[in-house]
Amino acid sequence: MTEDLDTTVYYDDDADRSYIDDETVAVLGYGSQGHAHSQNLSDSGVDVIVGLREDSSSRAAAEADGLRVETPADAAAEADIVSVLVPDTVQPAVFEEIRDGLEPGNTLQFAHGFNIHYNQIQPPEDVDVTMVAPKSPGHLVRRNYEAGQGTPGLLAIYQDETGDARERALAYAHGIGCTRAGVIETTFREETETDLFGEQAVLCGGMTALVKEGYETLVDAGYAPEMAYFECLNEMKLIVDLMYEDGLSNMWDSVSDTAEYGGLSRGERVIDDHARERMEEILEEVQDGTFAREWIAENQAGRPSYTQLKNAEETHEVEQVGKPLRDLFAWGAEDEEAAEAPADD
């Protein structure tokens, strides 16, 4: 364990597997995270049941992987730890199916705090409520585990009825391989709000908007769409990889002096005080529940805005230009394989 940062980081030696070795874990869902958690736990010697609807398309895959499959209600009723890994939008309905099967002292566990933080799920008072959240897509959680490596993760305790919630969550994190890399302790509120903000303002929303605006600027100025694609989208991965490996300074040290000076002197003209103000607005909408209410209502209405926005993104010119370009290069096949990782179920 280290406390050099502002928070605590746990590793393998901090986890006591006895808290989970004799217990049964129900993993509800067999998508991106569900398949990784189930297989990693099973390979770690934990008794795992996968909870899936009787008509789920993932049932055959889970059974082919050697896992026992039951309905969510039956799996939860048999388990000591119930890990809810179905999508956020269907978790409240699934919780209603499993509620009666939860017994005092059980653990109700999540990999994202949305429904607990925004009160879409109100758990019984006599169960532990925890979070173990790998900070990576599920296919990488599985791949890293099989390679003897780990995936960094987050741990949070919302409700500790038994007094052993943290120990049991750490044992679970050990079972899926997260403590090999390190697990940071946080809270449901902090994980949920920072995750939503990061997705919207930087990682998914901000980055894709920046790519499209840059692409359109070059194309509208008369440059070849293929050149605009490579400069504004393809090379994004190269830069992000450098930052991921060793921070911003590593990236600046790895690019040319011309690129470094141009980026340092011009970047804040694009992402300026106005962009910061918009980021603060987005954060406030996350904090006060505006986004959560909007997303819940959107799903209740059948996702009309979501569908329109998704269609616009998929038909953007940068997508039409990029697909044939990616097919020309050897790395296109690798990217396609990664994209075919299972979705949440």
Higher pLDDT, 341 or 82: 82
Q: pLDDT for 209-252, tens place per residue? A: 999 999 999 999 999 999 999 999 999 999 999 999 999 999 99
Residues acting as catalytic residues: 112
Taking 90 as the threshold, does the pLDDT of residue 131 lie above it? Answer: yes
Q: Give 157-214 pLDDT, tens digit per residue.
A: 999 999 999 999 999 999 999 999 999 999 999 999 999 999 999 999 999 999 999 9
Q: What is the DSSP letter of 102?
A: -
Instruction: Give per-residue pLDDT as tens, 9-37.
Output: 999 999 999 999 999 999 999 999 999 99
**pLDDT for position 4:** 53
As a whole number of angstroms, the distance between CA 261 and CA 271 comes to 16
Cβ-proximal residues to 82 (8 Å cutoff; 6+ apart), any chain? 25, 26, 28, 51, 75, 76, 98, 102, 106, 107, 108, 109
| Model pLDDT, residue 5 | 52
* CA 196 remoteness from chain centre: 10
Distance CA 207, CA 220 (A): 20
pLDDT band at residue 327 using 50, 70 and 90 as cut-offs: confident
With a cut of 60, say whether residue 332 has pLDDT above it: no
The residue type of 329 is F
